[in-house]
Structure 1
Amino acid sequence: MPLAIYDLDETLINADCSLLWLQFLIDLGLTDPVIMDDARELDRLYHQGQLDMHDYLALQLRPHLGQTLTEATREMDRFINEYVQPRIRPSAVESIRRHKARGDRCLVISASIDFLVEPIAAHLGIDDAIGVRIELEKERITGRADGPICYQEGKVLHLNRWLEQQGENTEGSWFYSDSQNDLPLLEQVDNPVGVSPDPRLAEVCKQRGWAIVNWECVK
């Protein structure tokens, strides 16, 4: 079955779900607003392809240290409805619909935390999702990753593991992404697509004859 693989942040939504989540926690009074200054600096490094994801993960999980997953995600439905839904790109929804109508299997793969990625993917009607797995000790969040981080070459590693587990392959597959950080995975599929791509990815797409689409418009 052909796969339609999607990056999440700045691809399916016109935002970074991790930054949206931090703003949500700030708005609820659940974390100190100063955390956003650090997050924006790390986000800048991400867009330059220079981010240490362990640092970013530690920052993202700082408000949740010592919590259970249930405690950390108790307001998830509200977050998705109020903060994520308005940022979903209509063209992304149409792409998902089109691939499903063709019988393709859809998958979201993201460098964001799995407890954000999975429910957002489900909200978009996608059952399969891969995000950064977080470490738990005695069911409590430690602030560290559980295994390799799903970022850059790590996305290829996690996709290959998933393919083996699911008995799937990348024949005829598509991957949609906005970011230069996803070049390793874009190179693995038959149909790489730059979605409103960053400057470096746009240049690579033009050099290699990869498709470019503009999904900027939101409702």
Structure 2
Amino acid sequence: MRVAIFDFDRTLFPEETFPLMMNHLKTHPMHHKKYSTFMRKILPMYVAYKLKLFPEKKMREGSMQSYISAFNKSSREDVEKFFAQLANTMKKRLNQEVLHRLEWHKARGDYTILVSGAFQPMLETITRDLPFDLVLGTEVPYDKDIIDSKKRVHHVNGDRKMRKVKEHLDPSDVDWTNSYAYGDSYSDLDVLEAVGNPVAVQPEPRLEQVAEKQAWEIITPVRA
């Protein structure tokens, strides 16, 4: 079995998701009051990160925890509706080149996977009409269909992406040499290096250096 593994932020979707999530919360007619709760939680962590006192991986995970914690005691229905509203605006702006690749992989019989740190309900809405066989994102912590802010958010980032993929596949069944992976970030290296055909999509500088050194394919943004 060949697989094709896709990242979301700055790969399938051409921008970073988190700033859009922040703005969606800040301006939302029902949930906007939660924005101040979120900011109180994230600000000390972000300042420490900027001062290089807090590692980036923990800052990203803490940001996701702070975001969803602002919805404490909210129902699954309300949370999924909130993410669906944002997702329906985002799905109109997907990277067309990456969408063409996804269709190509599906046509040749590859098992297609989206793995991302974005929240699962948002990814499920965005990919509802796309030919992904498996969508793996950061799970929202619930207790009996109510947000439980005390539960830890396990952000699917860095080496967790590959671990998550292998939890859902039998690695021995995968033809890794003839498989593909698409990502934009240096933190995607575990996934990109696992396959024979890594593709860097509008890569950040550190990943671009690796891609150029290893002669990987690079997809750059189409300029107007």
Using the size of structure 1 for normalisation, the TM-score is 0.82
Aligned residue number for residue 74 of structure 1: 81
Deviations 1:30-64 (A, max 9, x none): 1245557958x85xx69x97231431221220332
In structure 2, C-alpha distance between the alignment counterparts of 1:155 and 1:31, rounded to whole Å: 31
Residue 68 (structure 1) shift: 2.5
1:5–1:162 distance in 2 versus 1, CA, 3 Å: same
What pairs up with 1:123-202 in 2 under 5 angstroms? 123-143=129-149, 144-145=151-152, 148-164=154-170, 168-171=173-176, 172-202=178-208
Q: Please, what TM-score do these two structures have when normalized by structure 2? A: 0.81
Task: Quote the Cα distance in structure 1 between the aligned partners of 2:128 and 2:74.
Answer: 23
C-alpha spacing 1:116/1:109, structure 2 compared with 1 (3 Å)? same
> Cα distance 1:112–1:214, how it changes in 2: closer, same or farther (>3 A)?
same
When residues 159 and 96 of structure 1 are mapped into structure 2, their CA distance, relative to the original with a 3 A threshold, is same
Identity of aligned residues (%): 23
- Cα–Cα, structure 1 residues 200 and 51, in superposed 2: closer, same or farther, change >3 Å? same
Report the aligned-residue RMSD: 2.9
User: Partner residue of 1:115?
Assistant: 121
- Could you tell me which of 42, 50, 57 is aligned with 1:51? 57
**Which position in structure 2 is the counterpart of 1:31?**
32
Which is worse superposed, 101-110 or 117-126?
A: 117-126
Paired residue secondary structure (1:129): strand
SS of the aligned residue for 1:74 comes to helix
For 2:62 and 2:82, the matched residues in 1 are separated by 25
Structure 1: 5+ residue runs without aligned partners? none
Partner residue, 1:19: 19
Radius of gyration: which is bigger? 2
Give ranges in structure 2 of 5+ residues lacking alignment: none
Deviations 1:41-99 (A, max 9, x none): 85xx69x97231431221220332112221201244432232x0343111121111111
Q: Residue 124 of structure 2 contacts residue 135 of structure 2 at CA under 8 Å; is this kept in 1? A: yes
State how far apart, in whole Å, the 2-side matches of 1:202 and 1:7 are: 16
Q: Is the 8 A contact 2:115 2:161 kept in 1?
A: yes
